[in-house]
């Protein structure tokens, strides 16, 4: 299945995803959809993204059967967003001297995270890291470039994932 993400007219940080007859609201990057993605620009890349793995907080999200490889998030997991690092745009153990995001967060945004194939093989320095599908802030506040659902939307989204799923961002 190929789903389609569209930004809302006049509200570039809000979007909706169409998956067959289902339409789900989502938050996207504060800069909206961008054609040329750069690290830190707040844009969600115009691209066809493929989900590759799922990370989840075992204390907040019950593990169940996922259509993709799944891994429990631990307190020592991070994601490298340092364009100078050879581990750029990859999961890393913490602590780390490279710039990174912590995957174990108190705010709940990463209770469930779908890793996408954005800038993965090879990871090109500065072209954006950690383009995830994760949980949204209240009111669908903008992300740093990720796609974010409320909990109900995330559960519906996960129920449609399979190894052939793609998300076309327009």
Model confidence at 16: pLDDT above 90: yes
Give mean pLDDT, residues 19-26. 96
Closest alpha carbon to 161 in 53, 21, 43, 6: 53
CB count in 10 Å sphere of residue 147: 24
Write the pLDDT tens digit of every residue in 68-119.
999 999 999 999 999 999 999 999 999 999 999 999 999 999 999 999 999 9
* β-sheet bridge partners, residue 167: 3, 49
The rounded radius of gyration (Å) of the Cα atoms in the chain is 15
pLDDT digits (tens, 9 = 90+) for 24-57: 999 999 999 999 999 999 999 999 999 999 999 9
Q: How confident is the model at residue 144 (pLDDT cuts 50, 70, 90)?
A: very high
Q: Which of 139, 115, 130, 108 is nearest to 37 (CA)?
A: 130
Residue 63 has pLDDT above 90, yes or no: no
- Other CB atoms within a 10 A radius of the CB of residue 166 amount to 15
What is the CATH number that goes with domain 2-169? 2.40.440
- For the four alpha carbons of 5, 131, 123 and 69, in that order, the dihedral sign comes to negative
Structural contact between residues 23 and 16, judged by C-beta atoms closer than 8 angstroms: yes
């Amino acid at each position: 299945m190929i789903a389609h993400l569209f930004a809302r007219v006049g509200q570039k940080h809000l979007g909706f995803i169409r998956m067959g007859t289902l339409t789900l609201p989502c938050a996207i990057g504060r800069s909206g959809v961008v054609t040329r993605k750069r690290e830190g620009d707040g844009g969600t890349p115009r691209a066809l993204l493929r989900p590759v793995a799922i990370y989840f907080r075992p204390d907040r999200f019950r593990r169940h059967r996922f259509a993709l490889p799944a891994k429990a998030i631990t307190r020592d997991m991070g994601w490298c967003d340092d364009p100078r690092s050879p581990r750029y745009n990859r999961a890393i153990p913490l602590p780390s001297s490279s710039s990174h995001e912590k995957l174990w967060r108190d705010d709940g945004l990463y209770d469930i995270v779908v890793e996408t194939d954005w800038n993965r093989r090879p990871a090109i320095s500065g072209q954006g890291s950690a383009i995830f599908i994760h949980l949204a802030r209240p009111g669908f506040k903008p992300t740093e470039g990720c796609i974010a659902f409320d909990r109900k939307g995330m559960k519906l989204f996960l129920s449609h994932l399979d190894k052939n799923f793609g998300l076309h961002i327009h």
